[in-house]
A and B are shown apart, each in its own frame.
Chain A
Amino acid sequence: MVIDPKHTDNLFPDIALNHLGPFIGLLFLIGLISAAYPSADGALTALTTAFCFDFLRLNKKPDITEQELKKTRHWVHLSFAVILLLMIVLFRVINDDAVIRNLFKVAGYTYGPLLGLFAFGFLTKLNIRDKWVPVVCVISPAIAYFINENAPLWWDGYKFGFEMLIVNGCITFAGLALISVRKNQSVSNL
């Protein structure tokens, strides 16, 4: 096989843009552009929603008018657009593929705590000491990352793949179990 396994990401773009003439190049370009827009629009909307509801608690303010809500929403939306813009420029400044890919991989580790939290909520009836949750959720992915980096050393070259997320979620789940309280105990007494 003549294809360098490290550069398989270039296979489609390179063949499409440089080897088969303008028609397929144009096709590739359209696919690429149509993939770029939704990466941004969906994220902007979801980020704005999460921030407006979860941090500004706009839904919990009964006297807020439709107009005020709209104004706040626009400001949050604009702010996230600026943050995304700054991040993209930052990536460009870093200009190191390996570093940027690693950052993207680290961002994936935040799904472990989410998985652990929801699993604990759905699968157990236990209560937890709520204020300790941020601590568990920061430590768990850090442990997961540490295991991931050392696995080949510890276990005879074992490399984690997609199953790392499960490990990450389990560590969070175990952490939540550690800060759990029995059902009949009131959390406020602790």
Chain B
Amino acid sequence: MSPELILTVIAAYSALLFLVVWITSRNADNESYFIGNKSSKWYIVAYGMIGASLSGVTFMSVPGAVATTQFSYMQVVFGYLIGYSVIAMVLMPVYYKMNLTSIYTYLETRFGNASYKTGSFFFILSRTIGASFRIYIVINALQTFVFDAMGIPFIITVAVFMVLILLYTYKGGVKTIVWTDTLQTTFMLITVIFSVIFISDHLGIGLGDLLGKVMSSDLSKMYVDDTLSPNYFWKNFLGGAFIAIAMTGLDQEMMQKNLSCKNIGEAKKNMFTFSIVLVVVNFLFLVLGAVLVFYATQNKYGY
């Protein structure tokens, strides 16, 4: 792939993104930024949250992990379902009842000011490190594949990227983000689905036979009963449940989108739809992983 082609793709994607931003943030005020004027459609939020809960890191790690841990990641994913139900049935009703914008305000009401500040500070600390890590992984990859060859220094790449992000978020906030998230979900799904189709075609496996072939191979092993393994069923399942509660339900970024729904009824519908679809999407990522391993094995390909 030529660097020009890659640059064109990046520019085209950014242009599409700015179009979405322009359409959704024209009449934005502070209320739109913080809470999306409480008028986000639940199905739009649900669809966008799929993409938002997968990052560039999952994108690279989840399919690859099939080579070593098969489909055992599904144990974690089923655990997520339990966690998301707790969020929808226990946490969200309280958030809506208290009419929160920052979810950490709950801690102030329940315990006091120091608890409140601690909770919020821990979120800020964790998100700052987490977000910069995720952006770094992707920008670093792009730098290696494209910009180094063009002689553009890393600092310029990062600066341009951050300026682009600033330009499109400072105005619309959450109101815009629920829409840009849908763009991400769409392109991620397109990438995963077409990669599966393309690689299995390359291997001469028809789409009809694909699922059967994957499921009958050793790779599709989901259940781990070895209690000493880090992937032992109960560790993964319960770990997954609590990861969902903490990293989605107690996380301002994920909950802020939820809180932009009209009312608790719609927010619950959003959460349950999102949960089910996320299971399917994660399964797709694992199928992609299996197909990649088939390819690697057939082509005697290694590192």
Q: Which of A's residues lie within 8 Å of B, judged by CB?
A: 1-5, 7-13, 15-17, 19-20, 22-55, 59, 66, 69-70, 73-74, 77-78, 80-81, 83-85, 87-89, 91-92, 100, 103-104, 106-108, 110-115, 117-118, 121-122, 127-128, 130-134, 137, 157-166, 169, 187
Which residues from chain A contact B272 at a C-beta distance below 8 Å?
none
A171 to B176, CA, bound (A): 39
A120 to B174, CA, bound (A): 30
Q: Given A12-B63, A31-B192, A48-B173, list of 15 further CB < 8 A pairs?
A: A5-B67, A15-B296, A32-B142, A36-B134, A38-B184, A45-B174, A66-B30, A84-B128, A115-B250, A117-B118, A128-B111, A133-B112, A160-B230, A164-B239, A165-B243
Main secondary structure of the interface of A (DSSP, over half): helix
Which residues from chain A contact B6 at a C-beta distance below 8 Å?
29
Question: When the two chains form their complex, are residues A104 and B130 in contact, meaning their CB atoms are under 8 A apart?
Answer: yes
Q: Of B101-109, B209-217, B274-282, which binds chain A?
A: B101-109
Question: When the two chains form their complex, are residues A22 and B5 in contact, meaning their CB atoms are under 8 A apart?
Answer: yes
Question: When the two chains form their complex, are residues B292 and A34 in contact, meaning their CB atoms are under 8 A apart?
Answer: no
Write 13 A-B pairs (CB below 8 A) sorted by A numbering. A11-B296, A35-B54, A36-B139, A39-B138, A42-B181, A47-B127, A50-B102, A69-B30, A106-B129, A111-B122, A115-B245, A121-B111, A162-B236
Question: When the two chains form their complex, are residues A54 and B122 in contact, meaning their CB atoms are under 8 A apart?
Answer: no
Which residues from chain B contact A80 at a C-beta distance below 8 Å?
128
The smallest C-beta distance from B201 to any residue of chain A, in angstroms, reads 10
Question: A165 — nearest CB in chain B belongs to which residue?
Answer: B242
A70 to B187, CA, bound (A): 32
Beta-carbon contacts under 8 Å, B125-175 to A: 125-136, 138-142, 145, 154-155, 158-159, 161-162, 165-166, 168-170, 173-174
The smallest C-beta distance from A17 to any residue of chain B, in angstroms, reads 7
Question: When the two chains form their complex, are residues A114 and B119 in contact, meaning their CB atoms are under 8 A apart?
Answer: yes
Query: Which of these, A22, A28, A38, A104, contacts B133 with CB under 8 Å?
Result: A104
Question: When the two chains form their complex, are residues B113 and A130 in contact, meaning their CB atoms are under 8 A apart?
Answer: yes
Q: Do A50 and B252 contact each other (CB < 8 Å), given the known contacts A12-B63, A40-B162?
A: yes
B43 at the interface (CB under 8 A from A): no
Question: When the two chains form their complex, are residues B64 and A11 in contact, meaning their CB atoms are under 8 A apart?
Answer: yes
Which residues from chain A contact B128 at a C-beta distance below 8 Å?
43, 47, 80, 83-84, 87
The smallest C-beta distance from A101 to any residue of chain B, in angstroms, reads 8
Query: Which of these, B184, B202, B253, B293, contacts A37 with CB under 8 Å?
Result: B184
Question: When the two chains form their complex, are residues B56 and A36 in contact, meaning their CB atoms are under 8 A apart?
Answer: yes
Which residues from chain A contact B127 at a C-beta distance below 8 Å?
43, 46-47
Beta-carbon contacts under 8 Å, B33-84 to A: 33-34, 51-52, 54-56, 59-61, 63-68, 76, 79
A8 to B66, CA, bound (A): 8
Question: When the two chains form their complex, are residues B101 and A77 in contact, meaning their CB atoms are under 8 A apart?
Answer: no
Query: Which of these, B52, B111, B125, B296, contacts A3 with CB under 8 Å?
Result: B296
